Each structure stands twice: as C-alpha cells, then as structure tokens.
Amino acid sequence: MDRSEEYQDRPVRPYVITGGRAHPTRNTLRPETLLVANPESQLPVSTSREKRLLVDMCRGVLSVAEAAAHLRLPVSVVVVLASDLIDTGHLVVRSSPQRLVIPEIDLLEKVLNGLRKL
C-alpha cells in the first residue's frame, strides 16, 4: 500500500464543516444531482473555504458525488453544503429532462413470452 492510499485524518471534522448539522435543509439532493453555480451571485466574505471551493467547482456542471470526491469529503457533508448554497441562490440544481417512455403492450408481451421460453 503506497502512502496515498493510507488513512489520512482530517484536521477539521465534518460536523464542524456543516455547522453541526447532519441533515440538509432539503432532502431532494442525491449523489447524482447536477449542480451549477449561479453566475449572478456573489459569495459573502464570511463564506467557508469548502463552500467557496464547491461554488468554484460548479462553474461547469458537476454532480454532488463528483464534488464530494474532489473535495475529499463525505457525500452527506457535500449535500448539506450544497443545500445551504442552493437556499442562498449561489448554486442551482440542473435537472435533465426525463421523459418516461412506455413501450407498447405488444412488445411487453413478446418479452414476457420470450422469458417464459427460457
């Protein structure tokens, strides 16, 4: 095992980064949720280092899981930070249009019959 794979303790605990909160203000954020920085918003001077890094990373489109990997933080911590930034208007959730395609009943019956023959 090389040095980079060894456990490295963080000097700042995750509960300090989230302000002692374990749950986000919104429970709609999932690891695959896409985040984009709002170009029209300015972060206050008092914004934490982690929140600043998160907004900087989200200048392009980035998922919560990707942001967590880049920040080397647990996904749950990044969800709390992202929720705060969404609430203040610094981040925006980008939703991809998800069109539900329902196959024809004939196709479903053919698949079912094919499975039964197995």
Residue 91 lies inside a defined structural domain of this protein: yes
Rounded CA separation 17/19 (Å): 6
pLDDT at 57 over 90: yes
In a domain? residue 1: no
Q: Return the CATH number at 67.
A: 1.10.10
Closest Cα to residue 22, out of 85, 63, 91, 83? 83
pLDDT value at residue 5: 62
Tokens 């980079």 -> residue: 4
Tally the domains of the chain. Answer: 1
Q: Is residue 114 part of a domain?
A: no
Question: Is 64 a member of any domain?
Answer: yes
Domain span at 51? 23-96
> Are the beta carbons of 67 and 76 closer than 8 angstroms?
no
Kindly state the tokens that stand for 43: 């972060």
| pLDDT of 97 over the 60 cut | no
Tell me whether residue 48 is in a domain: yes
Per-residue confidence band for 102, with pLDDT thresholds at 50, 70 and 90: confident
Whether pLDDT at 100 is above 90: no
Overall pTM > 0.85: no
The two tokens of residue 53 are 């890094």
* Strand, coil or helix: 3: helix
Residue 51, in any domain of the structure: yes
